[in-house]
Structure formats: C-alpha cells, structure tokens
A and B are shown apart, each in its own frame.
Chain A
Amino acid sequence: MRVSKEALLIILAFIAPIIVELRTVLAWANIELTVLESVVLGLAIVALVLVWAFFPEDESSSETPERQLSNGD
C-alpha cells in the first residue's frame, strides 16, 4: 500500500466536495452531465485513487518514516 488506511480515508474525504461540484464546473465549459454520468465519473475517480493507493510500490520507498513518530497520544 502506498499510503496508510487512515490517509486513504482522508484523501477520499477530500475528493468528495470536488466530485459533488464537478458537474457544475463542467457545465461552465458546456459539458452537461446527467446524474448517472456524474455518479459514474465520481466512482471512476474513487476507483483511480484506490488503484493508486493499493498499487504495490517499491519497498524502498520513503513514504512511511515520519509515521514512526508518535502522535503524542
């Protein structure tokens, strides 16, 4: 996994408002999506993030050392 489960949760949360308003933004560019299309698009984005997150990465990656630090808890 490229990021921790918790980080993934937060990333997905941050994507939510973007997906919700994407349809409005696209409408400005005269791209009109139906509800179904925007739901599908949203799910596709979520799927992409999941693939990115779970895609096995080189073990020597430097993603995690800072996670060793305690939360102060």
Chain B
Amino acid sequence: MTMSESGGTYIDNFPAEARVVRSALYSSFLALALGGLFGIIQTLHRTDIYRFIESDMYYTVLTAHGVFLVVTFTIFFLVGVFTWAVTTSLDRGVEDIRFTWLWYGLMTIGTVMAAAAILAGFTDSIDMSADVLFTFYAPLQAHWLFYLGLVVFVVGTWLAGADWFRSWWAWKQENPDERIPLPTFMVLTTMLMWYIATIGIAVSILVFLLPWSLGIIDSVNPTLTRTLFWFWGHPVVYFWLLPAYMMWYVMLPKISGGKLFSDPLARVVFILFLLLSTPVGIHHQYLDPGIAEGFKFIAMTNTMFLLLPSLLTAFTVVASMEHGARQRGGTGYFGWLKALPWRDPVFAGMALAGLMFAAGGFSGMINAGMNINYLVHNTLWVPGHFHLTVGTASALTFMAATYWLLPQLTGKALWNRSVALVQVVLWFLGMTFMSNSMHRAGLLGIPRRTAEPQYQGFEFEAGVGSVAELDFQLALGGALLAISIVLFLANVVGTAFNGRSDDLPANEFAETLSGPEDSPQVLDNLKLWTAIAVVLVILAYSFPLMSIVDRGGLYGPDISPFPVSIETLSLLAFTLEQYTTAAIATTGEFVQTTLTGVIR
C-alpha cells in the first residue's frame, strides 16, 4: 500500500493541496490556542484559585472553550488531514482546487460568524451574545448569527466530503478493478456517517432554532431540539475520533517499524462506526424526562455494541505495534515495549493518546450504563471523561500527527523534536491530574458547567482526601495542559520559520501484513452500508421523535402553527421512510451524474 511511488514529501507532489491543508491546520491551531486560553481561565475560576472575570461571564468563556475546541479545532484539523489522506492514498490531486478553497472558505466564514456571536458576549456595548454552550440547548437562546455560522460551517464540511468523493469517483474511472485504498475508504465511510448525522442538527437549526432566534416562531420544543442535537452529538464524537483512528491505523504501525496487522479488520471497524454511531444518541438523554425508558434502553444496547469496533481497534493497533517492535529487535512478553521508538514524539504522542483513550473508554462505559449514569450525570465526571477522549485521544493524536505532517506540508524540518517529546508527555501528565480530579469530583456529585461549584450551607464530602485537594489537582493539571499547548504552538511557529530541508522522509503510509485482497469485496460496497445505516437510524429514532412531538408539540406544548396529530405524523414518518430509503439508493448515481454534468 505504499502510495507515492514517486517518493518525495507531500509538498513536492501536491504543492497546491499542501497550501489548503496547511491553512486548515493553522486555522485549527488558532482555535486550539483560543480554546486553551479559555480552558485555563475557567479552571482557575471554578476552583476559586484565581478569578478575574465575573461569574456571570463564565458561560461566555465556557461556550468559547467548548465550541472552539470541539467544533473548530477538531474539524478544521480533520478536513486538513482527510484531504492529505485522500490525495496521498489515491496518488492524485483534488479535481478542482478552487472547489477545495471554496469549502475551506465557507468553513472559515461560518467560524468567524459563530465566533463573533460568542465573543460579543464579553462586551455589553454590542447587543449580541451566544452563551449557549456547545450544546445550544433551548431555552438558552443565541443570537441568530451563531446558528447561521454553524450552518455555513457545516455546509463547508459537506462540500469537503463531496470533494473527496469526487476524487474517488475520478480515480475509480481509471482504476475500475482496484480496491479503495484504506485511508480513502476511512475518509469516505466517516463522511457518510457525517452526512447522516448532520441531518439532525440541520433540522434542529433550520426548522427550529434559527427561526426562533429571528423571532419568526415564538417557541420551540426543548426535548425535540435536544434530541435532534444528540442525533448529531453522538456521531460527532466519532467524527473527532475517526481521524485519530485513521492515524493510528495508517501511520502508527509504520512509525513503530512494522506493518498494519490487518487491512480488512480496519475496514470492518469503520463500517461498524458508520452503522452504529447515530442510532445511540439518546444515551446522552438518560435523564431527560420526556423520553420513555424503553427508548433509552434500546439506545444503551446499541451503545454497548459500539464498544466492539473500539476493542477491535485496540487489538489491531497494539498487534501492529508489537509487530513493529519485534522487527526492531524487541523480545519477550512485555520486553518488546522497550523496543518501541519512544523518543519519537509522533510515536510517543499517539501511544500516550491511545493509552489515555483506554481509560476514557472505561469511564465511558460507566456513562453508557443507564443506571450508573444517574450517579455521574451532569457532574464533573463527564468533562473528566471527554477530556480523555476528544481532549486527549483526538487532541493529542492530532498534535503528534502534526509533528509528522507539518514537515510534509511545509518542506521544513520540525523546529525541535525534544520540545515536541516534552510537550506530549506534559499533556499526558497534565491530563492525568486534571481528568483524575474531575472524575473524582464527579463521584462526589460536584456539578459541571458552573462558575460556583460550592453551595451555601452544604459541603461535598470526599471519601479520601478533600475537595480542596481535588481543586488544586484540577488547577495543576489545567496549568500543565496550558503550558503544553504553548510548547506545541511554539513548535508550529518555529517550524514555519525554519528553512527548507532536503532530507525529509517520503510521504508514505504503513504497509499491511494482511492486505485488502484478503477482505471480501462487499466491504467496499458503500451504498449497501449507507442504506443499512439509514434503516438503523429510522428504527432507532422514528418512534422516540414521534412521541416527543406528540407530547410536547412541534413548536412547544401549546403552540401548533398547523394542526398536528399522531395519525398525520405516523403517515408523514412512513412516507418519509419510504422516500429516504429510495432516495439513498439512488443518491450515489444522482450526485455523480449531476456533479460530472455540472462541473465537466
């Protein structure tokens, strides 16, 4: 699977694409810098160690932290790395670079709109705010610019996906009998998941929240918009995670000195994510009163199935690493671990990220269990969990990958490898303190999302230690993380100002022990998997959504702009179901013919 037969770095082979990917990465790092800044501010504030904002500004800070990190940082990085993966693995540039800049531009404009709405919350002189947190639950209401910005941003990502599909179709014309190269396969399946998932948020914003913020409708049904949010909100966590998985599959084995253990297994994993990511969103709503327990139970069962692809990933990635270590002369039961290239920041960062992800997986299982979830729901445990997953498994993998990608994209050697190694280790250390104390605090019942986690006349009691210690640990961890971000950014800037280097490694992926020829052809049948995914989503969501609308009305309890009854609704749902299934089946050909028709 060595792609660029030509050898050379990415920028040698694809100079125009390298510019877009670089811009996407720099945009993402800017968001990381801002998000990290707000992160340390809120950490010091809620632990009452150092306060310089008013508590009523806390939600502005927290919204900025959440949105900049889990929407802007992660997704800009993703579109960059996916463009790199598709062009490298198909060994062809994008079809039309102007289209590529178009989607990058849309994403940027969308971000600027949403960011303006959020940051305006810091000043009273502008009558605009979006203190709604990254979940934007009604009845919290943001300025319409925030919702519109999100829409523009998401449309940008849709076009990005279209760009990659277009590359693949063009490649397929020329290579009709070849299997889809693994990295491209991963990108396409992830994007199919994204298309399905974003339907939820598109409906939520376009039909409800945006008209509501513009005053066109008077109210919304909060349970409905929340449910639509989590329709998107769970798959988005895989949108953050799958690029990291991709790097673990296609880069880590090579950096470990070996080959990917199994290409077919990797394909199966990505298909499972496509199928199972969306019909589980209700597991974020175990405590929502308006949803029947039975639906929650189904969501829980689906969620437990989702563990499977992650366990498969752990197995494949560790097996590949062991293979690499043994190639490098490692021996023994555990002795091979010593033979891994720990001094390489790319490897060390990804390996540490994977390790922390295992811990995040365990706390995730606790979140996923309906009954134990009640213990930790809305406590600091939950941020403790996702700082291990998106905040480390994704974020740290992205930073480590940057140490490999940046030289490829700039043709310049990394500014300082030792600083890079210290940076990834510091992230691990900081996150150990921060996430551990968050989990522990959550077990005591300390709430998340509050500037003042202490209540008058009430003390949280720790079994071991004290709340003050946990606060200190949280702040210590947060400070180490902030330093780690500064070191990372220093390396990015330092590299950008380096001179061109001639002895950079060629832009290549890991080879495989068991290649695509060992996997059944049906794995590459994207239409089939998409159709099954859509059916699963309809099964999981049609009844919950119908009963939510039935109970609370489409636009809130008493307000029905047009008469709605359960009969008309089920008829509507049925028609919709028929229509979608049929539409999905033909979408492939349709989009293809239109695109070629319009563009060529």
Contact = CB atoms under 8 A, between A and B. Distances in A.
Interface of A: 4, 6-7, 9-10, 13, 16-17, 20-21, 23-24, 27, 32, 35, 65-66, 69, 71-73
A72 B258 CA distance: 10
B360 to A, nearest CB: 13
B329 A69 contact: yes
B432 A72 contact: no
A21 B428 CA distance: 15
B469 interface: yes
A24 B464 contact: yes
Contacts of A6: 342-343, 348, 421
A7 B432 contact: no
Nearest to A32: B464
B447 to A, nearest CB: 22
Given A7-B342, A20-B436, A23-B465, A71 B347 contact: yes
Contact of A16 (B254, B341, B343, B432): B432
18 contacts: A4-B343, A6-B342, A9-B425, A10-B342, A13-B352, A13-B425, A13-B428, A16-B428, A16-B429, A16-B433, A20-B473, A27-B463, A66-B329, A66-B330, A66-B338, A71-B343, A72-B254, A73-B255
Given A24-B465, A65-B329, 7 more contacts: A9-B425, A10-B342, A13-B429, A21-B436, A24-B464, A66-B338, A69-B257
Contacts of A16: 428-429, 432-433
Contacts of B433: 16, 20
Contacts of A17: 432, 436
A21 B435 CA distance: 12
Given A23-B465, A72-B257, A7 B343 contact: yes
A30 B339 CA distance: 39
Contacts of A32: 464
Contacts of A69: 257, 328-329
Contacts of B436: 17, 20-21
A71 B255 contact: yes
Interface in B235-260: 254-255, 257
Interface string B451-477: 000000000000111000100010000
A18 to B, nearest CB: 10
Contact of B464 (A23, A71, A72): A23
A21 to B, nearest CB: 7
Interface residues of B, number: 30
Contacts of A9: 421-422, 425
B140 to A, nearest CB: 35
Contacts of A23: 464-465
B139 interface: no
Contacts of B346: 73
A43 B465 CA distance: 18
Nearest to B421: A6
Contacts of B347: 71
Contacts of B473: 20
A48 B394 CA distance: 33
Nearest to B413: A73
Q: Is the interface of B mostly helix, strand, loop or mixed?
A: helix
Nearest to B504: A73
A25 to B, nearest CB: 9
Nearest to B330: A66
Best-buried of A21, A23, A72 by chain B (most CB within 10 Å): A72
Contacts of A66: 328-330, 338-339
Given A6-B343, A7-B343, A9-B422, A35 B469 contact: yes
Contacts of B352: 13
A70 to B, nearest CB: 9
Best-buried of A4, A13, A23, A27 by chain B (most CB within 10 Å): A13
Interface string B480-494: 000000000000000
Interface in B393-443: 421-422, 425, 428-429, 432-433, 436
Contacts of B348: 6, 10
A4 B421 CA distance: 13
Contacts of A73: 255, 344, 346, 505
B255 A20 contact: no
A17 B440 CA distance: 13
A7 B341 CA distance: 9
Contacts of B432: 16-17, 20
Interface in B303-331: 328-330
Contact of B341 (A24, A35, A71): A71
Contacts of A10: 342, 348, 425
Nearest to B414: A73
Contacts of A13: 352, 425, 428-429
A12 B276 CA distance: 38
A23 B465 CA distance: 8
A32 B422 CA distance: 33
Contacts of B505: 72-73
A53 B420 CA distance: 22
Nearest to B426: A13
A24 B439 CA distance: 13
Contacts of B429: 13, 16
Nearest to A63: B338
A65 B465 CA distance: 45
A64 B164 CA distance: 45
B482 to A, nearest CB: 17
B400 to A, nearest CB: 13
Nearest to B327: A69
A10 to B, nearest CB: 5
A6 B257 CA distance: 18
A4 B346 CA distance: 17
A52 to B, nearest CB: 14
Nearest to B351: A10
A9 B420 CA distance: 13
A66 B339 CA distance: 6
A1 B346 CA distance: 24
B312 to A, nearest CB: 25
